[in-house]
Each structure stands twice: as C-alpha cells, then as structure tokens.
Amino acid sequence: MCDAVHDAAHFAVDVRALDCDFLLCSAYKFYGPQIGILCSRPGLLDTLDTDRLRTQESEAPYRIETGTLNHPALMGLTATIEYLAQWSQGKHAGRG
Ligand SMILES: Cc1ncc(COP(=O)(O)O)c(C=O)c1O
C-alpha cells in the first residue's frame, strides 16, 4: 500500500515502477475536487473480502463503493487531470 497523497501533487507517479498493490491519493491536493483515488493492482480488488451493499455491483471497482458514485466530483477529477496533463512535460507526458 502506497500513500501518494503528497507525491501526486508534485510528481508523475509511476504505479508500475512502484510495484505496489494499492496506491492512494487525494485529488484536492492537486487542485481537484474533494475525492479520494484508489489505484489497485489489476484483479486484486475482486479478491478482497469486503463489506458490500447487496444493491451494489459485485465486481470491482463498484464492490467497494457504499452507494451512488459522486459523479460531480468524478467529472471534476477528470477535468483536473485533463488540465494538468496538457502541462506535463518529459518522459511521463500525458495521462499515461
Ligand atoms: C500523507 C497523507 N495521507 C493521507 C491523507 C489524507 O487525505 P484526505 O485528506 O483526502 O483524507 C493526508 C492528508 O493531508 C496526508 O497528508
């Protein structure tokens, strides 16, 4: 588990190079809305025995959500990433 809350605001985080199972960060740290971000190793979320609302989808990533997704924040997050990606330079330019 890698807490990238501080790094994500200052560096392009390469989750493959870190080789971690989970990486967390918070969008408001890089001018985005108040929403947390969880990046999981592919397939790993489906193996976790988590509490889940019966009405929620059984597959990841929905199985760890407790209700309706925060669509306005997700739209804001997408816009933030699009905005920042245009300023990226060097080896990790773009959204990757
Ligand atoms: C290193 C670190 N991890 C986690 C958090 C928690 O992030 P959030 O405010 O989104 O709960 C913070 C908050 O500043 C932090 O500094």
Specify the pLDDT at position 65: 86
The answer to whether the predicted template modeling score (pTM) of the entire model surpasses 0.75 is yes
- Cα distance from N-terminal residue to C-terminal residue, the chain: 21
Write the pLDDT tens digit of every residue in 55-73: 788 888 888 888 888 999 9
6 lines ligand 1 (CB under 6 A): yes
- In tens, the pLDDT along 33-50 reads 999 999 999 999 999 888
How many H-runs (helices) and E-runs (strands) does the chain carry? 2, 3
Q: Is the CB of 4 under 6 A from ligand 1?
A: no
Question: From start to end of the chain, where are the E strands?
Answer: 2-3, 22-26, 36-40
Q: For residue 93, is pLDDT > 80? A: no
Mutate to test the pocket of ligand 1, among 2, 5, 6 (most ligand atoms within 8 A of CB): 5
Token pair of 19, please? 């080789």
Average pLDDT over residues 81-88: 84
